[in-house]
Amino acid sequence: MNLGSRPFSLSLYLGAFATLSMALLLLLAWLVTQRIDAVDRDLRAAVHASARTELEQVLDDLFSGIREAARDIAQWDEIRQQLRQPAYYAYWRAHRLHKPGTLPESVSASEIYDAEGKLLGHFADTLLPGQLPAVPEARVIQHPDGRPVLQLFQPIRDSRGRRLGWIGLQFELLPALQRAIYTYLDPRSLQVGPIPAEGIPPDRLVEHIRFDTRPSDIRQAMLGILNDSLLQIAVVVILIGTGLYLLYNLLISRPLQRMERTVRRLENDGFMELQQMRFPVLELETVRNALIDYHRNLEQAHCELDERNRELWRLAHRDPLTGVFNRRALDEDWRRMTDAESRYPGAVAFLLLDCDHFKAINDTYGHETGDEVLRRIALGVQHALRSSDRLYRLGGDEFAAVLVECNRECAHEVAQRCIKAVDAEDFGELGLREPVHLSIGIAVAGPGPLPPVDTLKRMADMAMYHAKRPNRHRIQFYDDEMDRDGGMLYSSRIVHAVEHCLRNRCGIEMHYQPVVDLEAGDIGYREALARIRIGEELLMPGQFMPVIEAHRLESDFDLAVIEAIRRDAEQGRLPPDAGISVNVSGMGITRKDVMEALGSLAGTVVGRPLVLEITETTYIDRIDLANRQIRMARGLGYRIALDDFGSGYSSLRYLATMPFDIVKFDISMTRQLNGRESQRMITERMVKMLTDAGYYTVAEGIEDADTLKRVRDAGFAAAQGFHLGRPRPLPHSDQGRSSTSIENTASSPDGDESGAAHEKRPRKAGA
Ligand code: C2E
Ligand code: MG
Ligand code: MG
């Protein structure tokens, strides 16, 4: 029986056990009874044997007595006398032989026979035979009335021993037998017969006697004892069984059932009841205590599980660095809000908060400082938000806040508080020399059905892109016009292309546009301009630069561009005598790895004039670091150009603080030469001033000969524009033409980039 595999009912098993015990008991009783019967039979047999022996003895005694009596009688003289003179025999027979008291009492008949065995005389009343055989033998025969009698014939002899005749005697057997004293045999039960007609010889008589034995006291006593013991054992067993059953019921079955009911109700009030219970059986008490312990452990495990669940929920929904909610929490909250939309009948504002130039902070001061900056920003913003608002960290330095029941004004007010809170933080304590600012893009939805959170985030993202532009408010609300511009920021095709070419460092193609030295009349150097190829299509910077900026990939892009130029140089695409100008982002110029790449490029293109064009200088936070790096670049052989001067991205302020060699006038400044007098004068004065200050001035956007003439007249040192040469890929050096001749795009066979395609995108203006 495998008790482990299946539970079993104790009652069932006990019932089966009790039934089996009873059956065994009955079997035992039957066996004992059988045994007693066998003993009884043996005893009976033994007593019967004793009785038979006793009977044989009695018969022996009886027959010897009878024979002796017969012999005595045969000695009587008067009997011999009768044989000699039988004339008086009838008289003698009647008055002497048959006279009571003459013969023993047991003799019921007697006759005398002559020597030939013939009865003396004829008597009707005789019970003995009239003629004896030659040798008469004693026989037990049946008296006509059924009694068994012994007929014995004793010879009568004279003094010399001659036989004179016979005396026949008939003895009553049963009375004689019954008179004997027996120990074992019951004399009343003595019966003889059936007796055959020829009679029974006396020595065989015992075989024809039936008798019973006297009841044996010992046997009776022993049987009584045995039966009594058996009965007593049965009674004791029944009493013990009943007692055990009652005890089992009282001590085990009922308490177990009670415990079972209680355990079933453990979750409710069962535990209290279990604590108050007391069981008379130690084992059940042990089970009860174990159950109490188990229940306590279970409760403790429950608590710990709850705690773990809460902790897990917290881990799953909180940002480990700042402790604010995370992206998953935002998604879930938003799902809840949109499910219970009616609870927010008012507007909901989605604030996207971003730390300006956080990457530079991280790169410059290390991740630990960056983390602390984020923590402080989170704390400051959290305090600035209303108590009902939640702050989420979406990743990096990007935070979001969902403000329910909040219209434009309210959102603006909260956003301002956030900006002030971060502005008020003393980041100098962390060793930061530049201030840390927040930019906030806001998208407001409702009243009415709320859009998916990703849509709001995308809208806030576009607003944020604008908030980050130079000379813009750091808080920007999303409007539909942004959507038109921002579409490309989220064009998955362009985003994928950018990600792909940055990840695999491929797909970037460099086109080179000549910058013509006006005094020498030849190409001073070529500006390397990046394009991204998607199959047959070539993406222009106006298409992909916003994506790069929006995703903060400027430094990576710088590295990829430098790598592409280096590859062109190695493949002999760059004419040996022509210089190269590399555009580097404001962020890249502060990066060590970008500087190392520039060093490696300088090593590859030794001997050529090298220029580094830096634009969007407003993005440069750490001027001192940028200056150190610029000086390092100078050491590598680069001349440094301030790109797009006058566009709003780069201004005079930077000329005063940063070590530039070249100033490239933005196309808008060049166009002023064709404008009003005052505008023309501003550009001309600026050129003169910068030339006097020692800068090499370059005019961008020369689209026709007229503009070229005005540029020349204004005193520009160099000029760049479609009129002088379009940006185009360079062929291998062996295919190349003279690098010093001015390329006229009108006749250029490489004019695959149309004028329209080269129309300078006003991307830096953010519109
Ligand atoms: P940029 O550095 O000022 O480059 C000059 C831009 O003016 C080029 O536009 C060029 O094609 C365009 N251009 C030249 N001549 C004329 C002209 O006569 N008329 C007009 N309308 N435009 C002319 P592109 O190639 O589309 O580049 C736009 C801007 O993208 C660049 O301005 C630069 O800021 C950025 N960029 C391009 N390549 C790179 C690069 O490799 N690295 C970085 N960091 N920025 C790049
Ligand atoms: Mg440039
Ligand atoms: Mg430029």
Convert the pLDDT of each residue in 508-524 to its tens digit: 999 999 999 999 989 99
> Residue 594 has which token pair?
């970008």
Q: What is the predicted pLDDT for the residue at 658?
A: 85
CA 666 to ligand 1: nearest atom: 3
Which token pair is 110?
A: 């007697």
pLDDT of 101 reads 84
| Res 410: pLDDT | 93
Say which ligand is closest to the CA of 644.
3
- The CA 711 to ligand 1 mean position distance, Å, reads 19
Mean pLDDT for 231-260 is 81
Residue 584 CB less than 6 A away from ligand 1? yes
Highest mean pLDDT: which range of 91-95, 381-385, 501-505: 381-385
What separation in Å is there between the alpha carbon of 664 and the centre of ligand 3? 6
Distance 634 CA to ligand 2 centre (A): 18
Query: Regarding beta strands 662-665 and 638-645, do their DSSP bridges make them parallel or antiparallel, or are they unpaired?
Result: parallel
Ligand 1 near 529 CB (within 6 A): yes
pLDDT of res. 5:
52
Average pLDDT over residues 101-112: 86
The stretches of 578-622 forming alpha helices (DSSP H) are 592-604
Neighbours of ion ligand 2 (CB under 5 A): 583, 613, 643
Q: Which of 290-304, 374-388, 462-476, 742-756 has the lowest mean pLDDT?
A: 742-756
pLDDT tens-digit map of 159-183 = 888 888 999 999 888 888 888 899 8
Coarse DSSP helix, strand, coil percentages of the chain, rounded to the nearest 5 percent: 50, 20, 30
Confidence grade of residue 488 (pLDDT, cut at 50, 70, 90):
low
In this structure, what DSSP letter does residue 448 have? Answer: S
446 or 674, higher pLDDT: 674
In whole angstroms, give the CA distance from residue 371 to residue 12. Answer: 71
| pTM for this entry | 0.49
Most confident of 484-488, 604-608, 609-613: 609-613
Give the pLDDT score at 153: 92
Q: Quick check: CB of 193 below 6 Å from ligand 1?
A: no
pLDDT score, position 766? 28
Give the Cα separation of 32 and 287 in Å (integer). Answer: 43
Model confidence at 732, in pLDDT bands (50, 70, 90)?
Answer: low
- CB of 510 closer than 6 angstroms to any ligand 1 atom: no
Nearest atom, ligand 1, residue 753 CA: 11
Q: Per mean pLDDT, which of 283-292, 428-437, 712-721, 742-751 is the most reliable?
A: 712-721
User: Exposed/middle/buried for 200, CB within 10 Å: 0-12, 13-18, 19+?
Assistant: buried
Residue-wise pLDDT for 344-380, tens only, equals: 667 899 999 998 878 778 877 888 999 999 999 999 9
For residue 549, give the ligand nearest its CA.
1
Which structure tokens are listed for 202? Answer: 């006396």
**Surface-to-core class of residue 96, CB atoms within 10 Å of its CB (0-12 exposed, 13-18 middle, 19+ buried):** middle
Averaged confidence pLDDT in the chain: 83
The model's pLDDT over 617-642, given as tens digits with 9 standing for 90+, comes to 555 667 788 889 999 999 999 999 99
Q: Please state the rounded mean pLDDT for residues 658-683.
A: 91
Is 80 exceeded by the pLDDT of residue 472? no
* Any ligand 1 atom below 6 A from CB of 720: yes
> Quick one: pLDDT band at residue 491, thresholds 50, 70, 90?
low
List, in sequence order, every beta strand (DSSP E) within 107-181.
107-114, 139-142, 148-157, 163-172
pLDDT above 80: residue 647: no
CA 107 to chain CA mean position, Å: 114
| Percent share of the chain, pLDDT over 90 | 31
- What are phi and psi for residue 654, nearest 5 degrees? -75, -30
* DSSP-assigned letter for residue 669: H
| Residue 373 CA to its chain's centroid (Å) | 42
pLDDT, tens digit (0-9, with 9 covering 90-100), for 43-68: 888 888 989 998 999 889 888 888 88
Q: Identify the pLDDT of residue 744.
A: 42
Which residue did the predictor score with more confidence, 408 or 549?
408
- 190 or 467: which leads in pLDDT: 190
759 lines ligand 1 (CB under 6 A): yes
Arithmetic mean of pLDDT, 92-96:
88
Average pLDDT over residues 528-545: 89
Q: pLDDT digits over 549-593, tens only?
A: 877 788 899 999 999 999 999 888 887 777 999 999 888 888 889
In DSSP notation, 453-494 reads: HHHHHHHHHHHHHHHTSTTS-SEEE--HHHHHHHGGGG-HHH
Half-sphere exposure of 292 (CA within 13 A, CB side): 12
> Which of 463-477, 609-623, 731-745 is predicted with the least confidence, judged by mean pLDDT?
731-745
Q: Whose CA is nearest to atom 41 of ligand 1?
A: 530
Q: Which residues contact 617 (CB under 8 A, 6 or more apart)?
A: 586, 642, 649, 650, 651, 654, 658
Question: How far apart, in whole angstroms, are the C-alpha atoms of residue 443 and residue 540?
Answer: 30
Residue nearest to atom 27 of ligand 1 (CA): 541
